[in-house]
Structure 1
Amino acid sequence: MGKILTKITSRTLQFIEKQHVFFVATAPKKGRINLSPKGMNSLKVLTPNQLIWLNVTGSGNETAAHINENGNITIMFCAFEGAPNIVRIYGKAREVKPSDNDWKVLCSKLPKLPGARQIFDVTVASVQTSCGMSVPFYEYKGERNELNEWAENKGEDGIQKYWKEKNQTSIDGLPTHII
């Protein structure tokens, strides 16, 4: 039976830590909803009401544009192996960039990934659990390394140039404030 909780419980935390993939959803006040799969062990629960997620450079920067506009974020985990389960975390996020004062402290709690663009510091408002009985089984075979290789090949200067060319606005024209 599904529940709505006010924090990440120890049981929920154990489930989250076992998942290889999670999904991040944000939306602007007007425009398209963005829903993206994430992995690379880039999320860390710090307290029952706080988690951080390291976002790496990609083709778009929708999450930053939406977070800067309204702060709303939903993160979903679902079991692809083992017992059926879905966990959704609803909260408010703030963007932390490499130039921000608390970047080093937060970054030290996450894996070092090439092309790191920002950390989203999420204050958990509620956690919803549900059964997940319709989610199919999938076998985890490992992480993809193509994005890391791409970022390493670009180098820091190349990443900065890419941000200027490709990550300045959302698909709906909202500023991302990446630089």
Structure 2
Amino acid sequence: MAKFFEEIGPRHREFIEAQKIFFTASAPLSGDGHVNLSPKGMDAFRVLSPNKVAYMDINGSGNETSAHLLENGRITIMFCAFDGPPNILRLYGKGYTVLPGTSEWDELSPLFHLPLSSRQIIVTNVDIVQTSCGYGVPFYDYKGERDQAIKWAENKGEEGIEKYQAEKNRISLDGLPTAMFDRF
């Protein structure tokens, strides 16, 4: 049975902090646009307050979340228990992208271990917290973090990463600008 809350309570925060993976979902306004769903890990999530969260986002082949947030702000973040008691927790809200070189980046970045592969921080103002049973989520064992993104970034170097971001992260799959659009 789903339960709804106006903020992240202590038990919600404890559950969030125990998870090794979370998922983000966003979508453009256009009905012809593509819904984006992305898995995230690497100890990248932080609860900033009962109604504000942030996650460090690493380089990827696309930048759909940033484009969707720039266009309409809508985001859902989901955590689910793969061990222990079953549980699903969703955070619904409005988000935005924080880029390096801004005062908010300077404020938030110390909260994270930022590998060279970090490209932005996604901040969400949470307006609804939902929990549900999670009975259908299977058990999985956590074996550790992958290191490919870090090795990829180290091999590219700062100049190579900038070139990659300019080519791959400025515009979404649907042709929407991302927060990085004017950066290059």
TM-score range, shorter chain: over 0.9
Q: How many Å apart are 1:177 and its aligned residue?
A: 3.4
Q: How many Å apart are 1:113 and its aligned residue?
A: 1.8
Contact 2:97–2:179 (CA under 8 A) maintained in structure 1: no
Task: Specify the SS of the correspondent of 2:69.
Answer: helix
In 2 relative to 1, CA 177–124 (structure 1 residues): closer, same or farther, beyond 3 Å? Answer: closer
| Alignment partner, residue 110 of structure 1 | 112
1:155 aligns with 2:153: no
| Alignment partner, residue 54 of structure 1 | 56
Amino acid at match of 1:114: L
Contact 1:115–1:156 (CA under 8 A) maintained in structure 2: no
| Alignment partner, residue 121 of structure 2 | 119
1:170 aligns with 2:172: yes
Instruction: State the TM-score, normalizing by the size of structure 1.
Output: 0.97
Q: Deviations over 1:109-167 (max 9, x none)?
A: 11222221111111111100000000000000000000111011111111100011111
Instruction: State the TM-score, normalizing by the size of structure 2.
Output: 0.95
Structure 1, gaps ≥5 residues long: none
Find the aligned partners of 2:128 and 2:115 in 1 and give their Cα distance.
29
TM-align CA RMSD: 0.8
4+ residue stretches of structure 1 with deviation over 6 A? Answer: none
Contact 2:80–2:87 (CA under 8 A) maintained in structure 1: yes
1:24 aligns with 2:1: no
Contact 1:19–1:77 (CA under 8 A) maintained in structure 2: yes
Contact 1:22–1:37 (CA under 8 A) maintained in structure 2: yes
1:4 aligns with 2:4: yes
Task: Specify the SS of the correspondent of 2:165.
Answer: helix
Q: How many Å apart are 1:4 and its aligned residue?
A: 0.4
Contact 1:115–1:151 (CA under 8 A) maintained in structure 2: yes
Amino acid at match of 1:5: F
Task: Specify the SS of the correspondent of 2:154.
Answer: helix
Find the aligned partners of 1:177 and 1:97 in 2 and give their Cα distance.
8
Q: How many Å apart are 1:2 and its aligned residue?
A: 2.3
Amino acid at match of 1:32: H
Amino acid at match of 2:8: I
Q: How many residues align?
A: 179
Find the aligned partners of 2:102 and 2:13 in 1 and give their Cα distance.
28
* Equivalent of residue 36 in structure 2, options 21, 34, 37: 34
Amino acid at match of 2:177: P
Contact 1:49–1:124 (CA under 8 A) maintained in structure 2: yes
Task: Specify the SS of the correspondent of 1:150.
Answer: helix
Find the aligned partners of 2:69 and 2:16 in 1 and give their Cα distance.
22
